[in-house]
Every structure is written in C-alpha cells, then in structure tokens.
Structure 1
C-alpha cells in the first residue's frame, strides 16, 4: 500500500507535494464554479446561488430569444472576423521582421512582447485617459489639432463609430506581441537548408519564398494562433468594460456577450440563472467554432 501511494524513494509523494496545491486550486476556483454555473442555468436563481425552483430549459429559451444577447453575438462575430486576421497579419509581420535582424534581436523581441505583460485594465485606462481622450488633452486629438482638425469624442461618437478604433488599437497593442513570439518560435524551427535549397533552385527572396516555404512550414503555428485569437475575441471583457462604461452604465453599442451577461447576473435584476444559461450558450458557441476550425484546418491530422 505504501509503495503504491508514495512509490519508490517517495517519488509519488514529491509529485503530489508540487502539483497538489495547483490541482486543488484549479478544482476550487475553476471546475467547481463551472459545474455550479451549469447547474444554476436550470433554476430560477434571482439574488441567490442556492436556488430551489427548477425551471428546466426556460432560461436558455429566454436567453436565445433576447434581442440584446443575440445582437451582442452578431456584433462580436463581425468583430472576430476583423480582429483575427488583423492581429494575425500584424504579429506575423513583426515576427518576420524580428527574425531577420542580425543584432539586437532579443531587445526588439522584448519590446514588442512587453505590452503582453500589461494589465488590460491599465492599458484601457491609458488609452481612455491619455491617448483617445475625448477632449483637447488626448494624444490623438493633439495630433488632429496639429493638422487643423476638430477634436473627436472617440468613445461616444457612434456615427461614424470611432469607438471601434480605440478598442481595436488597444487590443492589437496588447496581443500582437504574444502571437509574435509564437510565430518566432515557429520560424526558428524551419531548417535553413530549405531556404538554401530554394535559393539554389532560383527562388526569389521575398513573397515567393514566403508563400512556398515559410507559410507552409508555419501551418501548425498558424492554426494554433487562429484558434487562440477566435477564443480570445469572444471572451473579450476587460478592455470593453473599462473603456466604454461610465457612471451611467454601459452604452448599448459595442457590448460584448460577457459584458451583457455581467449586467444580467450582477446588475439590478441579479438573475444568476439567466446569466449562467447565457454563459453556457457562449461556451458552447466557442467550443463549436473551435471544433469546426480544427476540422477545417486539419488540426491533429497525420501528415501523409
């Protein structure tokens, strides 16, 4: 019994000593709340997390027929279709430029990756108060004033929707460095012999080499980056909430699903059952989109 529990020389004991706290923390703060949220979605849970009135699928029916929720899903499907290829292209371009450097490569890699370590809340405050401030003191309006243009209320102007410029730029600044590092790792795994053979065969450096050698060799990395970008797009919350919310609440435009569910579950109504149902629906959508993408890109398919 002792040998099966602790193993020879107590190797199993040290395994559980180092991994046990993380397993317990993951169960307490992730898995148990997740399962409890799924259970709440089948109950009428107003202002309580211990409901007793079972309502079946009525919360799901209410959420799927709620125009505000479906509108948020449609809006952020369009947002995903824009932000995913934009971030993909920017991070790949940065990785290609940094990978070609002959000196100070580590410096530029660190510079571009550094925003990833910044809090989304802090970055949102910087963008809101310093860069895209709606008064004459913001950096963007200062630049406009240099060219004789009038200042713009970036976060409150809906025609045209300038608030998307603020949201997209802060998201690109925060995320591009992380995916650049993933692409850099993929680029460094490409054998130099392939490029040498292409040069011998007469391949011209630039687009021809990128198309026929670099991009095919980055296929696995590209699939992983696209999957992560789509998941992160539908899980957007911090930058939207901190950029657009005011003392009067959140405006009806640019409302991501998680912000809407936040107000449903923790707003005036505090309908935790309805909010949990919406969270489950959103999670299922993310899983479905991820599985479809994985099958489409052939993720995990054995190479012939």
Structure 2
C-alpha cells in the first residue's frame, strides 16, 4: 500500500509504494551499470523518437482537430472520422482499392518470394548468386517502375500497343494508364514486380542459415518427401525471416501510392486506382488539411497493425 505523508492532520502527499521505489532503484542501478551501452544506443533512440514515435503521436492527436497550417488547430472531436466514413465517397473507394491491392500483392508476392527463394536455393552457387541479384535488383533501383510507363505508353510507340497493333489484336492504341479498366490490374502487376526483392533476400538468407543436420534428424523421425521437409523443418527454422517478410509485404502493399501517382497520375482517372496513401497525400500535401490527413493516416495505421497481428498469429501455426 502507498504510505501517506500527514502534516497537521492533513494528507499532503502520498509516498510511492515500496515495491515501486525498489523497482525504480533497480532500474536506475541497471542504467548506471550499463551506461556505456545506453550511450551507444542513445543516438538511435533519439532519432527514432524524433522522426518516428513523435510524428505518430502527433498524428494521432491531430486527427481530432481541424488544422490547415495557417490557423490555430480547432478541436472537432470525431468529426474527421465521421466525415471519412459517412461523407467521403472517394475514401471509401480508396479503401476498396487498397484492400484489393493488399490482397493481391501481399499474399501473392509473399508466396512468390518464398517459392522462388526455395527453388533458387537448390541451384549451384554461381547461378544462385546471379538469380538473387536479378530478383533483388528492382528493390534497389529507385523509381525503376517508370519503365512500365514506357512499355505501356498510350501511343502507338509504346511496346505493348506496338506489338498488339502489329498482330492486329487491336485497331487503335490503348490508353493503358488512363482507362479505368486496365489501371488497377497494371498497378497490381507493377507492385508485385517491385515487392519481391527484400522479402526474397531475407528468405534466401533464412534458407542458407538452416542447419543441415535437422533434415537428417527429420528423415530419421519419419519425414519422407520435400513437402514434409518444407513444412516441418524448413519453415519452422526460418520463422524470423518469415515474419520479417510478412511485415515488409504488408507494409509495402498498404503503403502503395507512389506507383499509382507516377503511372496513373494524381488523381487517377475516375479514382480507379486511388489508394489510402494517395488520399492521404491529397489532403496532406495538396489541400493542407492536416487534421483530416492525420485521421486518414490513423485509419491506415490501425489497418496495418491489425493485419500484422493477424499474420503473426497465422505464422505461429507454421510447422504444427
């Protein structure tokens, strides 16, 4: 229980619980003992707080205000969130596009990375190195996805239109990134192409780090084919890489926005490829409605956290 400090019959303060005081003393002692380690970690922690934790906290708070950078913030409570779901049809459309993109790019890209990494890991070292570079290259090449804009150029000089016109498949050039019928499928293809690199590399590293004696032990325990090896030995042995790949896939899928802006414009025709990130950029960087943009960012943050938790629960069952 907390001890009370009484003066003249009045309680003027409550002393901390002895258990709390003891834990604080132990914590301070630990800090003093490991002060060198804390000093080395301090620059990272300060930068992480300043550029990651603090912006998230501020954004969560700004979601309850009307703020345009020119006037003082005005508290509006839940008005921004009510407006998002009941008065913003474009946001509802952006949610649908984002989930479609996430479902197609996230799981499919994740499985592609895992399958390709598993197959390439069985190849000779020289060939494995070359193919690893080929798969990882799009992830380290910046805005390399712009080459798709050249391939699917809207005039007759675009590669796709030129090939289709030459073989009389079409009679006139297709406006690939201006026609709502083609925009989202093409964005999904480009997003898949750019998303395989990082997860693929982590899976290759995980496969290379598996102790080969585990396969011998598994064979003695009754594992008889490659699929059983994959499920009972390979995947459980690389759970950290599986988790990292899942987080990267989810973050990349829900964070898709630059590809849409670069290829389809801002906004895309009829908002056919408009995502939550595009909506966030529209209100935050164009209209400067920072309170409303913060509400959009909060919704996206909640979606990503919830999806990550779901994936972690599913991955925990691997090998069972």
Fold agreement, TM-score > 0.5: yes
Q: Are the aligned partners of 1:182 and 1:221 in contact in 2 as well (CA < 8 Å)?
A: yes
The residue number in structure 2 matching 1:189 is 209
The residue number in structure 2 matching 1:295 is 313
User: Which structure dedicates a bigger proportion of its chain to strand?
Assistant: 2
1:23-38 mapped onto 2 (5 Å cutoff): 23-38=45-60
The residue number in structure 2 matching 1:88 is 110
1:56 aligns to 2:77 (yes or no): yes
1:115-154 mapped onto 2 (5 Å cutoff): 115-119=138-142, 122-128=143-149, 130-150=150-170, 151-154=173-176
Q: Are the aligned partners of 1:134 and 1:152 in contact in 2 as well (CA < 8 Å)?
A: yes
Larger radius of gyration: 2
Superimposed CA distance per residue, residues 14-62 of structure 1 (whole angstroms, 9 cap, x where no aligned partner): 863x5444434333333333222222222221343741x2111211221
How far off is 1:95 after superposition? 0.8
The residue number in structure 1 matching 2:291 is 273
SS in 2 for 1:155: coil
Distance 1:142 1:203, change over 3 A: farther
Aligned residues: 286
Q: Are the aligned partners of 1:127 and 1:170 in contact in 2 as well (CA < 8 Å)?
A: yes
1:67 aligns to 2:89 (yes or no): yes
Distance 1:138 1:19, change over 3 A: farther
The residue number in structure 2 matching 1:106 is 129
Q: Are the aligned partners of 1:48 and 1:272 in contact in 2 as well (CA < 8 Å)?
A: no
Q: Are the aligned partners of 1:40 and 1:49 in contact in 2 as well (CA < 8 Å)?
A: no
The residue number in structure 2 matching 1:244 is 264
Q: Distance in 1 between matches of 2:249 and 2:223?
A: 36
The residue number in structure 2 matching 1:168 is 188
Distance 1:93 1:139, change over 3 A: farther
Q: Distance in 2 between matches of 1:202 and 1:87?
A: 28
* Structure 1: tracts of 5 or more residues without a match: none
Distance 1:243 1:291, change over 3 A: same
How far off is 1:227 after superposition? 3.3
Superimposed CA distance per residue, residues 255-278 of structure 1 (whole angstroms, 9 cap, x where no aligned partner): 11011122123334x321111111
SS in 2 for 1:72: helix
Distance 1:89 1:5, change over 3 A: closer
The residue number in structure 2 matching 1:258 is 277
Distance 1:25 1:192, change over 3 A: closer
The residue number in structure 2 matching 1:157 is 179
Q: Are the aligned partners of 2:31 and 2:38 in contact in 1 as well (CA < 8 Å)?
A: no
Which of 284, 301, 304 is the matching residue for 1:283?
Answer: 301
